[in-house]
Amino acid sequence: MDAEARHLALSLSLLFVLFRLSFSDDASDAATLLKFKDSVADPSGSLDGWTQNSGPCREPKWAGIICNGDGEVYGLQLENMGLSGPLNLGPLTDLPSIRTLSFSNNRFTGPMPGVRDFKGLKNVYLSANNFTGGIRDDAFDGMRSLKKVVLSRNKFSGRIPSSLVLVNSLSELWVDYNGFDGQIPNFQQSDLQVVNVSNNNLEGSIPPRLSAMDPSMFAGGEAK
């Protein structure tokens, strides 16, 4: 075999290995997502296209799945799908490339799902569901990449988690139309652009770092 033929054979072998690795990753992601699918109620059949005979990032891609250029699951955008029941994100921690989780405008109930095990997560959208109860104070510990947290229009109560103050990358926080009480945490993040805490039961003074923001973001409570 001459040098050119050996080079071609080596190139084909590498392509085959890369294909097998990609297919293996896709199959692993599929198994993880199917486990998650089994944990939610889907009366509208919005996730019926998620099957063992297909892959989340292969055409046709699964509904609500965002993939990156490497064919890895980058995000879930499961909005307006009529999904319900408690939201358990545990199975999804096996997806190492997850950066966005969006479950807005569904019918999920129960406490806020745990997100702090998603260390690379940048965005979490849980607005317009029926989540209830308090949120653990350490719910966002160690989430160094987190930029946007949207919890609007639920039935959360208790204090706004102080662990959000330690998320240095935070740029937007939306917790409006809930039942949070106590004081607004003393946010100091330099990149913070939006903190909407309107229509809660908050009291006390607005932290200086937030005082230049639109007053409507603090309306509907006693914070001044």
**The domain that contains 91 carries what CATH number?**
3.80.10.10
**Cβ(101)–Cβ(146) below 8 Å:** no
Is the confidence at residue 87, as pLDDT, over 80?
Answer: yes
Is the confidence at residue 14, as pLDDT, over 90?
Answer: no
Q: Is residue 86 part of a domain?
A: yes
What pLDDT shows up at residue 9?
Answer: 45
**Cβ(66)–Cβ(75) below 8 Å:** yes
Report pTM: 0.87
What pLDDT shows up at residue 223?
Answer: 66
Residue whose entry in the numeric block shows the structure tokens 């250029």: 69
Burial bucket for residue 69 (CB in 10 Å: 0-12, 13-18, 19+) = exposed
Average per-residue pLDDT for the chain: 90
Number of compact structural domains in the chain: 1
Instruction: Give me the phi and psi of 115, to 5 degrees please.
Output: -125, -10
What pLDDT shows up at residue 18?
Answer: 39
Q: Is residue 129 part of a domain?
A: yes
Confidence band for 221, pLDDT divided at 50, 70 and 90: confident
Q: Is residue 224 part of a domain?
A: no
Q: Is residue 9 part of a domain?
A: yes
Distances (CA, A) of 154 to 11, 99, 148, 171, 184: 54, 23, 17, 21, 18
Q: Is residue 8 part of a domain?
A: yes
Domain, as residue range, for 79: 3-218
Q: Is residue 223 part of a domain?
A: no
Residue whose entry in the numeric block shows the structure tokens 């509904």: 63
Q: Is residue 91 part of a domain?
A: yes
What is the mean pLDDT of the segment spanning 115-138?
A: 98
Is the confidence at residue 11, as pLDDT, over 90?
Answer: no
CA-CA distance, 122 to 174, in Å (whole number)?
15
